[in-house]
Amino acid sequence: MSFNRRTFLQIGSGALGLAITDATFTKFAFAEGAAGTLRVAIAKPAGNLDPQSHYAIWAIQDLMFDPLVRYGKGGQIEPCLATDWKIEDGGKTLHLTLRKGVTFQDGTAFDAASCKWNLERWLGLDQFSWMNCSKYFQSLEVVDDHQVALHFKEPPLALMQELSYTRPPRFLSPKSVDANGKFVEPVGTGPWRQISADDTQSVFERYDGYWGDKPTYQRLEAKVIPDPRARVAALRAGEIDLVGGFWIAPLTPVEAKQLEAAGLNVVIDPGNVTLVMAFNPDRTEALKDPQVRKAISIGIDRAAISQALYQGFARPAGNLFSDALPFAGTQHDAPVRDVAAASALLEKAGWTGGPVRSKDGTPLTLEIVVSPDAVPGSRVVAEVIQSEMKEIGIDLIVRSVDHASKHTDMLERKYDLGFFLTYGAPYDPFGTVVALCLSTFNNDVEGKLFTDPANLDPLINAATAATGDQIAPSIQKVYDWLRDNDAIAPLVYVPSIWAHSKRVQGFTSPVTEYDMPYENIVLAE
Amino acid sequence: MIHFISKRLKHSLVLLFMASLVCFTLVVSAPGNVAVLIAELRGAVATPGYVEKVAEEIGLHKPLLMRYAGWLGDAVRGDFGISYRTGQEVSADLPKRMLVTGTLIGGSGVVATLLGLALGFLGAFWPYRLPDRVSRGLALLGASTPTFFVGALMIYGFSVTFQLFPSFGFGGPESWVLPWVTVAVLPAAVLSRVVRVGLEEAMASPFVLTAKSKGLGRTAILFRDALPNIIPVFINALGTQVGLMTATAIIVEPLFAWQGVGDYFLQGVKFRDFMVVQACLLIFLAFFIVVNLIVDLAVLMTDPRIRRQWS
């Protein structure tokens, strides 16, 4: 056989073709992912997973660490590491029966001793006084190997809800700290065990000794992809299987639409967080008048905001909380935009003329402060409201600030109008009502949604002191007061958005934005 | 030569000092309270008392000059402080991130050089004919397309549609291809025009006429006579483009989920992580200065006229 130029070219092109084919199929295999592995996008590295620190992604901690009780749909408290509980002594004592046969991922038994060790890492400490159960903690009593009792100075509000939080109440193996009690490695009782973690990904394998329902797949990889466009592309390219969650790797409604159009599965949950507009009457005289506040509120087209900016995924809000939350109160329809009625209210309040209304020579100019870092999409929402306010004779100036400036400005009340997000499950309704509406609650830097020490504070205090059947009617009085005085303008219920590949089957949205929705997933290989 | 290097080094140190002072002033004078962000990251609720404690701890109450002097003293010893956001030492995070950014800029520099030379020569071989027009059109397109858009197109084409390369991550060589090309497109466009114009000018010189009269072909003249003439200009242009690539890295690294210095800087800015921002700025500035120094030396070596000037 002679080796001429033609043979050389034939062999060369054949080799090149083989190389390309091999590379292509290798890539396809890479894109499809290893069998039995769920690949989830996270927007930043998982961080320090110590349940008593505050650096980590909640959902990653949720994979490894169990709570005593879980927050279920509609705020139902469900058993987890505690199988039974009794609240006695007027709410000052909590008896807990611990689940038997539970071991941490390092083989250590979960019992009253390890429960006590964990709870004493945070209960009663100043750092955690934002939680009622820690603020009022008195003592912990070990009854027997599987029973403990917690004693409080005062009955803690929403005690069982607090015990379902991701941090600090989750349980860590006593062997996962050093001699000084400093956290060394994440070892919990949960269904997933961490096998590696760095700035690019955290890898988990199924803990086969888990006491509950085990995941149907062996491995979970949380891939760090900070850029939202890169997350969308990675899902479309088949390099990840699941993306979404406000605190995990948020998707915008526009991205969700793009993914839907590309044939991926998009799951929209109504969510349990509300975007609310706050008025600041302390800075601007005009906003002291409820008529002006009402005019602004009914001058906003919530349906249009939902349709145009949230792609129809968000529901217009007529209440501080949606009915997805417990004690959300009587549900009212969202106000429908009524320019004529809004203008009439302003006329009645003495704001006349145009194009910008004025009163006693003062133009009706207001400033809205927005921080897209804190509330994604808020600048666009503010611009829409700006054009709507123009139609009713209000000159609205939009001031966009970064996250740090937003905190400073909101705390120092340097705004006329501003956006707030309610805390959502499992913290609400009391989390938002107390932190953002009670004037005497002064331990955060979020600023205030609306306060009225004379009229609103007594209602909130009554609601937080109520027990049993009294809770619903007493918190309803808070909602009614806010509504009757047009103190706030709820805009939309922010949806929870997830997208996944065809490989993921059985996906259901998590109950809260702090959970990782791995539970019902089956991987189609 | 030694005189030249020592003079350039002195200038570089003064420049570094001035630039770090300007950066420091800009970072600390931004509105908002960084202590609030740090307190929020450390605890679930940032109480005013805790915010005050954090402010005290990070020295926010000290005079600006004292803060700057303290930071500079530590930085000179290689201690860039602790990241407010992660609690990790910045100097411990930097080496691995510099490796990532170095891979990005180094690889992109090579791709840009090869592409720039190839396109430039293509035009010079067939001036004012189809290859030249194509090369000019590609250069115009490359120079006018924003880098983030090039990156998005690359991902859409080669990751989403053909699934040839990963869309994110810093793994093996296959994960380097798209980021390298994304960063290289703009510099390659600029360099191709530098090569094309430089070669055209050189080909109009009297020495080319002499070479032609000696019977040399166009290819030989281009490589042997014209190319050495454009090397100093090319090196200058390449130096500028490599410097600009650091700015491009800030856009491209997050796009491809590469945890390099650009990504570190961006995260630092977002969270007002002062120590991280200052360290990254200092690295960028030092890199610019070192690249400029190398360029000056390379030009000195390749251009006899400048060498004579300093000898």
For residue range A339-378, what is the model confidence (pLDDT) as tens digits? Answer: 999 999 999 999 998 899 999 999 999 999 998 877 877 8
**Alpha-carbon torsion (B62, B66, B70, B76), positive or negative:** positive
Give A266-288 pLDDT, tens digit per residue. Answer: 999 988 999 999 999 999 999 99
Confidence of residue A392 (pLDDT cuts 50, 70, 90): very high
Confidence of residue A1 (pLDDT cuts 50, 70, 90): very low
Q: Which of A182, A229, A231, A235 is the mutation pick for testing B, counting most B CBs within 10 A?
A: A229
Whether omega before A168 lies within 30 degrees of 0, making that bond cis, reads yes
Minimum-distance CB partner of A237 among B33, B42, B160? B160
* Amino acid at the residue A330: T
Which pLDDT score, from 0 to 100, does residue A524 have? Answer: 87
What count of CB pairs under 8 Å joins A to B? 123
Is residue A228 within 8 angstroms of chain B, CB to CB? no
Alpha-carbon distance of B132 to B122, in angstroms, equals 6
Minimum-distance CB partner of A407 among B32, B159, B170? B32
Q: Whole-number mean pLDDT of chain B? A: 87
Q: Is A214 helix (H, G, I), strand (E, B) or coil?
A: coil
What is the pLDDT averaged over residues A296-312? 90
Minimum-distance CB partner of B159 among A47, A199, A233? A233
Q: Which of A147, A117, A121, A148 is nearest to A134 (CA)?
A: A121
DSSP state for residue A127 in the 8-state scheme: G
pLDDT higher than threshold 90 for residue B42: no
Quick check: B142 and B186 in contact, CB under 8 A? yes
Q: A328: which residues sit within 8 A by CB, 6+ positions away?
A: A319, A320, A321, A322, A429
Alpha-carbon distance of B116 to B186, in angstroms, equals 10
Structure tokens at A216: 């149907």
**Hey, which residues 128-167 in chain A have their CB within 8 Å of chain B?**
128, 130, 167
Alpha-carbon distance of A518 to A515, in angstroms, equals 9
Q: A369: which residues sit within 8 A by CB, 6+ positions away?
A: A399, A401, A406, A409, A410, A414, A415, A417, A418
In a 10 Å sphere around its CB, with 0-12 CB exposed, 13-18 middle and 19+ buried, how is residue A18 labelled? exposed
Instruction: Please give, rounded to a whole number of angstroms, the shortest distance from the CA of B40 to a CA of chain A.
Output: 9
Which pLDDT score, from 0 to 100, does residue A441 have? Answer: 82
Q: What percent of chain A has pLDDT over 90?
A: 69
What is the pLDDT averaged over residues A153-160? 91
Q: Facing residues of A183 across strands?
A: A177
Alpha-carbon distance of A84 to A99, in angstroms, equals 9
- Terminal Cα-to-Cα distance of chain B (whole angstroms): 7
Number of neighbouring beta carbons within 10 Å of residue B173: 10
Is residue A406 within 8 angstroms of chain B, CB to CB? yes
Which bin fits B306, alpha (ψ -120 to 50), beta or left (φ > 0)? alpha
Which pLDDT score, from 0 to 100, does residue A24 have? Answer: 47
Instruction: Please give, rounded to a whole number of angstroms, the shortest distance from the CA of A131 to a CA of chain B.
Output: 10
Q: Which of A129, A135, A402, A427 is the mutation pick for testing B, counting most B CBs within 10 A?
A: A402
- In this structure, of A93-102, A391-400, B80-89, the range with the lowest mean pLDDT score is B80-89
Residue with tokens 């919530």: A302
- Tell me if A233 and B168 make a contact (CB, 8 A cut-off): yes
Structure tokens at B275: 């120590």
Structure tokens at A88: 């006695």
Report which listed range, A486-495, B13-22, B77-86, is most confident. A486-495
**Closest chain A CA to residue B97:** A199
Structure tokens at A268: 């929209």
Which pLDDT score, from 0 to 100, does residue A244 have? Answer: 94
Minimum-distance CB partner of A130 among B40, B44, B156? B44
Is residue A230 within 8 angstroms of chain B, CB to CB? yes
- Tell me if B167 and A402 make a contact (CB, 8 A cut-off): no
Q: Is B63 helix (H, G, I), strand (E, B) or coil?
A: coil
Q: What percent of chain A has pLDDT over 70?
A: 93
Q: Chain B residues with CB inside 8 Å of A167's CB?
A: 44
* β-strands A395-400, A365-370 pairing: parallel
pLDDT higher than threshold 50 for residue A28: no
Instruction: Please give, rounded to a whole number of angstroms, the shortest distance from the CA of A270 to a CA of chain B.
Output: 25
**Closest chain B CA to residue A58:** B44
Q: Chain A residues with CB inside 8 Å of B40's CB?
A: 407, 445
* β-strands A201-206, A219-224 pairing: antiparallel
In a 10 Å sphere around its CB, with 0-12 CB exposed, 13-18 middle and 19+ buried, how is residue A248 labelled? buried
Alpha-carbon distance of A224 to A201, in angstroms, equals 5
Minimum-distance CB partner of B46 among A167, A223, A444? A444
Is residue B255 within 8 angstroms of chain A, CB to CB? yes
Which pLDDT score, from 0 to 100, does residue B172 have? Answer: 84
Give A110-152 pLDDT, tens digit per residue. Answer: 999 999 999 999 999 887 888 899 999 999 999 999 999 999 9
Give B111-150 pLDDT, tens digit per residue. Answer: 999 999 999 999 988 888 898 999 999 999 999 999 999 9
**Closest chain A CA to residue B93:** A199
Instruction: Give CA separation, A465 vs A52, A89, A93, A157, B268, in Å.
Output: 28, 15, 16, 7, 43
**Closest chain A CA to residue B33:** A404
Alpha-carbon distance of A168 to A74, in angstroms, equals 22
- Tell me if B162 and A23 make a contact (CB, 8 A cut-off): no
Predicted TM-score of the model (pTM): 0.83
Number of neighbouring beta carbons within 10 Å of residue B244: 15
Which pLDDT score, from 0 to 100, does residue B17 have? Answer: 85
Is residue A237 within 8 angstroms of chain B, CB to CB? yes
What value of ipTM does the predicted structure carry? Answer: 0.80
Is residue A236 within 8 angstroms of chain B, CB to CB? yes
Q: Chain B residues with CB inside 8 Å of A227's CB?
A: 254-255, 257
pLDDT higher than threshold 50 for residue B253: yes
Q: Which of A279, A64, A45 is nearest to A167 (CA)?
A: A64
In a 10 Å sphere around its CB, with 0-12 CB exposed, 13-18 middle and 19+ buried, how is residue B64 labelled? exposed
Q: Whole-number mean pLDDT of chain A? A: 89
pLDDT higher than threshold 70 for residue B59: yes
How many helical (H) and strand (E) elements, i.e. helices and strands, does chain A have? 15, 21
Q: Chain B residues with CB inside 8 Å of A130's CB?
A: 44-45
For chain B, how big is the Rg over CA atoms in Å? 24
B264 or A28: whose pLDDT is higher? B264
- Tell me if B255 and A227 make a contact (CB, 8 A cut-off): yes
Q: Cα A521–B162–A239 angle (5° rounding)? A: 25
Which pLDDT score, from 0 to 100, does residue A225 have? Answer: 92
Structure tokens at A358: 């004025």
What is the pLDDT averaged over residues A454-466? 92
Q: Chain B residues with CB inside 8 Å of A234's CB?
A: 159, 167-168
What is the pLDDT averaged over residues B21-40? 75
Q: Which of B271, B287, B274 is nearest to B97 (CA)?
A: B287
- Tell me if A404 and B256 make a contact (CB, 8 A cut-off): no
* Backbone phi and psi for residue B11, each to the nearest 5 degrees, phi listed first: -60, -40
What is the pLDDT averaged over residues B275-291? 87
Alpha-carbon distance of A478 to B164, in angstroms, equals 58
- E-strand ranges in B5-88 read none
Instruction: Please give, rounded to a whole number of angstroms, the shortest distance from the CA of B65 to a CA of chain A.
Output: 23
Maximum alpha-carbon separation in chain B: 86
In a 10 Å sphere around its CB, with 0-12 CB exposed, 13-18 middle and 19+ buried, how is residue B187 labelled? buried
Length of chain A: 525
Give A238-271 pLDDT, tens digit per residue. Answer: 999 999 998 899 998 889 999 999 999 999 998 8
pLDDT higher than threshold 50 for residue B95: yes
Quick check: A408 and B36 in contact, CB under 8 A? yes
Q: Which of A403, A378, A224 is nearest to B270 (CA)?
A: A403
- Tell me if A24 and B163 make a contact (CB, 8 A cut-off): yes
Which pLDDT score, from 0 to 100, does residue A29 have? Answer: 43
Alpha-carbon distance of B300 to A381, in angstroms, equals 57
- Tell me if B36 and A54 make a contact (CB, 8 A cut-off): no
pLDDT higher than threshold 70 for residue B273: yes
- In this structure, of A342-351, A449-458, B215-224, the range with the lowest mean pLDDT score is B215-224
**Alpha-carbon torsion (B45, B50, B55, B61), positive or negative:** positive
Quick check: B109 and B245 in contact, CB under 8 A? yes
Is residue B95 within 8 angstroms of chain A, CB to CB? no
- Tell me if A444 and B45 make a contact (CB, 8 A cut-off): yes
Q: A344: which residues sit within 8 A by CB, 6+ positions away?
A: none
Alpha-carbon distance of A484 to A506, in angstroms, equals 44
Q: Chain A residues with CB inside 8 Å of B39's CB?
A: 445
Report the interhelical angle of B90-125 vs B130-144 (nearest 10°). 150
* β-strands A365-370, A201-206 pairing: unpaired
Instruction: Please give, rounded to a whole number of angstroms, the shortest distance from the CA of A427 to a CA of chain B.
Output: 12
Instruction: Give CA separation, A80 vs A99, A171, A192, A194, A469, in Å.
Output: 8, 11, 15, 21, 25
pLDDT higher than threshold 90 for residue A63: yes
- In this structure, of A84-93, A304-313, B49-58, the range with the lowest mean pLDDT score is B49-58
Instruction: Give CA separation, A209 vs A68, A105, A108, A154, B100, in Å.
Output: 18, 7, 11, 38, 39
Whether omega before A429 lies within 30 degrees of 0, making that bond cis, reads yes
Which pLDDT score, from 0 to 100, does residue B301 have? Answer: 84
Q: Chain A residues with CB inside 8 Å of B87's CB?
A: 48, 55
Quick check: A504 and A265 in contact, CB under 8 A? yes
Report the interhelical angle of B147-154 vs B177-203 (nearest 10°). 120
**Alpha-carbon torsion (A75, A77, A78, A81), positive or negative:** positive
A16 or A229: whose pLDDT is higher? A229
Instruction: Please give, rounded to a whole number of angstroms, the shortest distance from the CA of A355 to a CA of chain B.
Output: 33
Is residue B156 within 8 angstroms of chain A, CB to CB? yes
**Hey, which residues 54-93 in chain B have their CB within 8 Å of chain A?**
86-87
Instruction: Please give, rounded to a whole number of angstroms, the shortest distance from the CA of A468 to a CA of chain B.
Output: 28
Instruction: Give CA separation, B68 vs A497, B26, B27, B266, in Å.
Output: 45, 12, 11, 21
Confidence of residue A444 (pLDDT cuts 50, 70, 90): low
Quick check: B81 and B155 in contact, CB under 8 A? no
Structure tokens at A225: 């992809």
Minimum-distance CB partner of A27 among B86, B163, B170? B163
What is the pLDDT averaged over residues A439-443? 76
